[in-house]
Structures are given as C-alpha cells and as structure tokens.
Structure 1
Amino acid sequence: MDSGLPNSKGAGQPVQTQRERAYLAARFVLKVMELPYVVGYHWFQYSDQPAEGRFDGENSNFGLVNIRDEPWDLLTRVFARLNRWVEKVHVREAGAEELLREVSEIVEKG
C-alpha cells in the first residue's frame, strides 16, 4: 500500500492506494446514511498505527492523519465534502449517487 505501513493486522480490507481508500470510505458513509435507522457514523482512529504495531500488533493505515500528524489530504478533503451533505442524504433531501459522483471527481483529480 502507498501508505508505507505493513497493514498486516487489523480490521477491514487493505487497499492499494489512498484514492481507493477515499472512494471506498465515501461509498460506505453514503450507503450508511441512506439507512433510516442510522443516526451517524464515526471514524475509527484519528492517526495511523505505527509500522511496528501498537499494543495489540495492529499496524495499519486507519488514520485521517499519518503518524507525523500530517493529514491524508485526499481522504480529509473527501470527508469535508461528505460531512456537509450527510444529513441531507439521510433525510432524503439530496441523493447519495449524485454526491458519490462528486466525490469520485475529487478522488480522480487526486
């Protein structure tokens, strides 16, 4: 993966690029926000885990920032866009597919 982390232990499916990570995160959030019984979501971890592993051995690229506290630019831009619209998607004032297309354009441009 382009994060430089092993990603050998931890939950979720590892992806190869930050572009793929940002797109799949957006897709997940939008699918969840379409569900009437969901009241919100949260991101698992603010920062990436250390390459040598944390206390339980997890060593993955889960963060909004890397271990030097530098934002993963594409992911944070995608979340900034999403977070302005998730409530409208949830109450059906905006379409998830339209927003996913906008996010896809952000991801494609990098």
Structure 2
Amino acid sequence: MTVLAAAAAFAAQEPQVVNGVIVRPEWERIPTPEEMRRPAHTDWSPQGEVVLLCTVVNDGRIDDCKVQPPAPADQRVTAYAVGLTRFVRHNTRLQDGSSAIGLKVRIPIRLETTES
C-alpha cells in the first residue's frame, strides 16, 4: 500500500499571501512516495483530510503546525500529516521577492491508500 497526498497541496504554484497567510505555496521540496508510505509495523492505513496552518522558518522548513477545524476524527491522521511536514521545504522568498520567513502557510492534505 502507498499513501498519496493531494497533489494540489504540494504542487508548485505562484505564491499568494492573503491576510499574512500563504495560500498558494511554492515548495522547494515535497515528500517522496517512499517518505509517504504508511507507518511500518501496522495494519493502519492513513485515510482522511486535514488542513494544517504552519510557519515557514529560516531555512524554509515548516514548523509550529496547527490543525484547522474541522479536525479529523482519527487523531492518527493528524499526527501522520504533521509528521510529513518534516520532509517539506518552502521557498524562503515569495515570487514578488519578499520574505516568506515567519509567514503562516496553509497546507490542505488528503490521505488515501491504494493497493500497490
């Protein structure tokens, strides 16, 4: 089984900031399929949707992620989605040249399993 994230969440798009939140991020790095595999030693397959609001820090890492309502009923989905953010890097500059550091970024993630 392989876990898939919504491509739109990590697709490179022209950044746009609305009310101090990056709503169309420009990713420098996204999780690989290998990094998105389901947790080892478990039969649990991550499925569900979650929206994270995170902060872009100095090197483009994503930090301080908070789940936006409505939160998934299965808290494992939340934990799994937050764990994926360690593989994500945002461009430290927005397309207009201004800094992305310190801004919040909205990350919608949809997890589903497929047979491989």
More strand by percentage: 2
What's the TM-score, normalizing by structure 2? 0.27
More helix by percentage: 1
- Which structure has the higher relative contact order (CA within 8 Å, separation 6+)? 2
